[in-house]
Amino acid sequence: MKLLEVKNLKTYFDTSKGQLKAVDDVSFDLDYGEALGLVGESGCGKTTSALSICRLLPKEGKVYGGEILLEGSDIAKLSDDEIRHHRWKDISVIFQGAMNALNPVMNIGDQIAEAVMLHDGLSKADALKRAGDLLELVEISRGRVANYPHEFSGGMKQRVMIAMALACNPKVVIGDEPTTALDVMVQAQILNLLEKLRKELNMGLILITHDLSILGETCDKIAVMYAGKIVESGTVADIFENAKHPYTKKLIGCFPNVEKEKRIPDGIKGAPANMLHPPAGCAFHPRCEMASDRCRAEVPQQKKSGTSHQVACHLAEV
């Protein structure tokens, strides 16, 4: 039994201009101690997938179908009150943008202690002691529990966000672009810390990013999203060494390779699909140089290419 299984998830937003299918028939799984990277351009449905798992969608969003199995139990069927018992206790989120995610008028210790007091029933004193332990876990002095967010650098704020996510010993942690707005050296420190904690605590990690290059050494497997669907998934080796989908190949081509001859990285022509009025057939076909009439008319289905590699492309050889 997997730690987490998402099956045929459909999350739509009702807007004044029509229904937007932000996540459309998405499936993936995660095991204990495993790291999954969800990658794709902004607006492809990565964050919405994560918020659907935790039931943290804005009021316009709703899960219309699918299963979210946590250790075999479908938490998608739970009421709002019931899911609240699982949120942070079993599944937690490192939110995007640590600069704005912390309450500026509460000290760090109180912000971390809040979840511990709610879920674990600890006293304020014990919860603050736990907050100090968590700060030390993310390599911040426990003496800083009384400090306020403005007294921390960007990288340290992100470490605080990680400490908050780990407060109740969750089984699954979702990192929603946890290195956004951080410089390259601090990004590396945060990613190394997440990998270290994942292995030490045997937790499942879902890492959401638009930067495919950071997943190679951080994740065990990768799912590539485009226009609300997973277009390719597999192990890190499957994706980087044997990519099948044209979009995945283009994403990889966007990054320079320091080991090969210098060249200008390739871009991806065109613009992301309009999610309110997506193109017929494969959503990527307007930007794909190899698109055929079949691509323009028929939505490709997932097909296997080996034991762990799947791709949704009419032209892919499997």
Mean pLDDT, residues 95-124 taken together: 90
Confidence band (pLDDT; 50, 70, 90) for 111? very high
Whole-number average pLDDT of the chain: 92
Mean pLDDT, residues 290-297 taken together: 95
pLDDT of 217 > 90? The answer is no
Nearest CA among 167, 86, 162, 160 for reference residue 126: 167
Coil vs helix vs strand at 258: coil
Residue 73, CA distances (Å) to 85, 169, 183, 311 in order: 14, 19, 40, 28
Coil vs helix vs strand at 246: helix
pLDDT of 260 > 90? The answer is no
Backbone angles phi, psi at 199, to 5 degrees: -75, -40
Q: Residues with Cβ < 8 Å from 213, sequence gap 6 or more?
A: 255
Which pLDDT belongs to residue 223? 98
Would residue 235 count as lying in a domain?
Answer: yes
**Domain, as residue range, for 299:** 224-317
Confidence band (pLDDT; 50, 70, 90) for 254? confident
Q: Residues with Cβ < 8 Å from 118, sequence gap 6 or more?
A: none
Higher pLDDT, 97 or 197: 197
Confidence band (pLDDT; 50, 70, 90) for 136? very high
Higher pLDDT, 98 or 211: 211
Would residue 93 count as lying in a domain?
Answer: no
What is the per-residue burial (b if ≥16 Cβ within 10 Å, else e) of 159-172? bbbbbbbbbbebbb
Which pLDDT belongs to residue 93? 94
Residue type (1 letter), 126: D
Would residue 231 count as lying in a domain?
Answer: yes
Confidence band (pLDDT; 50, 70, 90) for 318? low
Total domains in the chain come to 1
Would residue 135 count as lying in a domain?
Answer: no
Residue 126, CA distances (Å) to 88, 131, 216 in order: 18, 9, 39
Residue 297, CA distances (Å) to 43, 98, 180, 228 in order: 23, 43, 37, 18
The DSSP result for 137-185, as a single string, is: HTT--GGGGG--GGGS-HHHHHHHHHHHHTTT--SEEEEESTTTT--HH
Backbone angles phi, psi at 89, to 5 degrees: -75, -45
Would residue 294 count as lying in a domain?
Answer: yes
Mean pLDDT, residues 37-62 taken together: 94
Would residue 299 count as lying in a domain?
Answer: yes
Listed in sequence order, the DSSP H helices in the chain are 46-54, 80-86, 98-101, 108-120, 124-137, 154-165, 184-201, 236-241, 246-253, 293-297
The single residue listed with the structure tokens 């998402």 is: 6
Would residue 241 count as lying in a domain?
Answer: yes
Would residue 266 count as lying in a domain?
Answer: yes
pLDDT of 68 > 70? The answer is yes
Mean pLDDT, residues 27-45 taken together: 96
Mean pLDDT, residues 17-34 taken together: 96
As to burial, measured by CB atoms within 10 angstroms (0-12 exposed, 13-18 middle, 19+ buried), residue 68 is: buried
As to burial, measured by CB atoms within 10 angstroms (0-12 exposed, 13-18 middle, 19+ buried), residue 30 is: buried
